[in-house]
Chains A and B, each alone.
Chain A
Amino acid sequence: MSTLSTTNLKNPSSGSNNIVLNTDGTIGGAALAGVSDVTGVNTTGTVTSGTTSLTVASATGITAGMYVVGEGIAPGTTVSTVVGTTVTLSANAGATLSSDPVTFYSASKVITPAAVGGMLCRAWVNFNGTGTVAIRASYNVSSITDNGTGDYTVNFTTALADANYSCVASSGTAASDYRIAVPNFNAAPTSSACRLRTSTPAAAGTAADDPYVNVAIFR
């Protein structure tokens, strides 16, 4: 096997799309993400729900256009402006933060969580469908609706572009029988919600409540 020894790869038609091979063996260059890009700029922030003015503990490394990730901040929210420690968001915060963690990611670097993750899972939720129905954890989910036995609707905080998403669901129980969870297409999915049904195939598909129900939305 032969080895190509070079420090720079470039498309002849491009003046800027270089891939730089660093001396330590890592890949650098303007277009590709370094470790700091993937890690993001981590700080804490304070914002009132329904507003765009986020006050951060430190604005070092935060620039306009960066993606913002934090509790209650809708996917795809970016930095509009940075003045001192005041960061203006492109969309209202969905929750009030008080010195809570927020992270800022480059919008231009390849393979940053913002560039890749933002195009994958748009919403997910893990909830207990038995007894007192309760949400364990979620992302971009404002609520779930308990419509009846084994019949739930997942409601999105920020609506998707359309209803042509992939809804993946699973459910489980400590009991010895198998369970299934599927989108309920008797109620057509919308850009703001997806209804699903959990049931037990051992009893001819009878609707059943399960302690572990998981739903993920991809688009």
Chain B
Amino acid sequence: MKRIIYQSESGGVAVIIPTELVDLALKDVPEGVPYEIVEEADIPSDRTFRGAWVMGDCCIEHDLDQCKAIAHDKRRAARAEEFTPHDELIAKQIPGVDAAAVEEARQAIRDRYAAVQAEIEAAASPDEIKAALGI
């Protein structure tokens, strides 16, 4: 199956998936926008960094800076999720809770994700960024 790709208004890549004939789907390209017809296999199947896709010379490529921005969002979300139970213990001031131990656990999370942050920044490819995220 063929696909139609074009640069979206936001600077990313829009991919048109025709129901049947690609010719019938050409009307779905915004008027006046340049497009390319490519093979389905030319479209990345890994959508981890979908928001970082850009039109390259011959195919879809990844904007590494945008990949890192997406990765940092994922890192922050994961860190917040791990923080939540510890934050609640501190916020609720439950008697008998070892606040020092809770803070130690929070610091361990901070340290771990600081290392992830550094790995993401040092990464040279989307695959390396995924490795830093552990996905």
Contacts and interface: CB of A to CB of B under 8 A. Distances in A.
B47 A143 contact: no
Contacts of B12: 147-148
Contacts, number: 72
A81 interface: no
Given A142-B25, A143-B28, A149 B40 contact: no
Interface residues of A, number: 29
B17 A130 contact: no
Interface stretch (A104-112, A132-140, A176-184): A132-140
Contact of B50 (A132, A193, A203, A209): A209
Interface string A38-51: 00000000000100
A193 B14 CA distance: 15
B53 to A, nearest CB: 8
Contacts of B40: 132
Most central of B14, B19, B25, B47 by chain A CB within 10 Å: B19
B45 A131 contact: yes
A148 B40 CA distance: 16
B16 A95 contact: no
A148 B18 CA distance: 16
Contact of B19 (A132, A135, A146, A148): A135
A24 to B, nearest CB: 44
Interface of A: 49, 72, 94-95, 125, 127, 130-135, 138, 141-149, 153, 155, 157, 193, 203, 206, 209
